[in-house]
Amino acid sequence: MKIWVARIPEEGSHYEGDDPAEILDLGEDPFIRVTGDVHYALHAHHVSDELVVRGTLSVGMNLKCTRCTEFFSTTVADSGFLRAYPASEDTDSVDITKDMRENLLLHIPGFPVCSEECKGLCAQCGADLNKGSCSCTAGDRPNPWSALDSLDL
């Protein structure tokens, strides 16, 4: 998104709208699917020779749960976007697209989980434990010490 500096009145300007998901430039990421446009609600105003831009960014995404490996839909948002750009009298516009991208990518969780209660996959058979328990119950698990039980000491 580009902000036309010369058109901003003294009290500042408010911008609300959508930029295409392509600005995030995620390519073919196996863990992330962007599901909507990048929404921005920003306020820009002059502070001496700088243009200060602050506000909120958000985008809908499907992320792969690191426990159960299923995709779940979520909103990645940055409610604290705050940047200052040099803006002298002959600055036409300021392009904040790169910073929008950077801020949103920083707000994608490193280890996304579909829910705090997600039980994940069984470490032995790989079954999704959210869909029910598998047959690998504690009693059936091969116990390295069970051979000791049959020893007559």
* Secondary structure (3-state) at 149: helix
Rounded to the nearest whole angstrom, what is the least distance from the CB of residue 77 to Zn ion in the complex?
Answer: 21
CA quadruple 109, 21, 84, 76: dihedral sign: negative
Residue 147 C-beta: closest distance to Zn ion, Å = 22
| Complex with Zn ion: residue 9 or 142, whichever CB lies closer | 142
In whole angstroms, what separates CA 109 from the centre of its chain? 5
Question: Which among 142, 121, 108, 104 has a CA at the least distance from the CA of 23?
Answer: 104
Specify the residue, 98 or 141, whose C-beta has the smaller distance to Zn ion.
141
Q: List the structure tokens of 91.
A: 């600055």
Closest to Zn ion by CB, 25 vs 29, is: 29
Under DSSP, the state recorded for 8 is -
In the complex with Zn ion, which residue's Cβ is closer, 9 or 110? 110
- Integer-rounded Cα Rg, in Å, for the chain is 25
79: number of CA atoms within 13 Å, CB side? Answer: 1
Least Å from the CB of residue 49 to Zn ion = 49
Interface residues with Zn ion (CB under 5 A)?
65, 67-68, 114, 118, 122, 124-125, 127, 134, 136
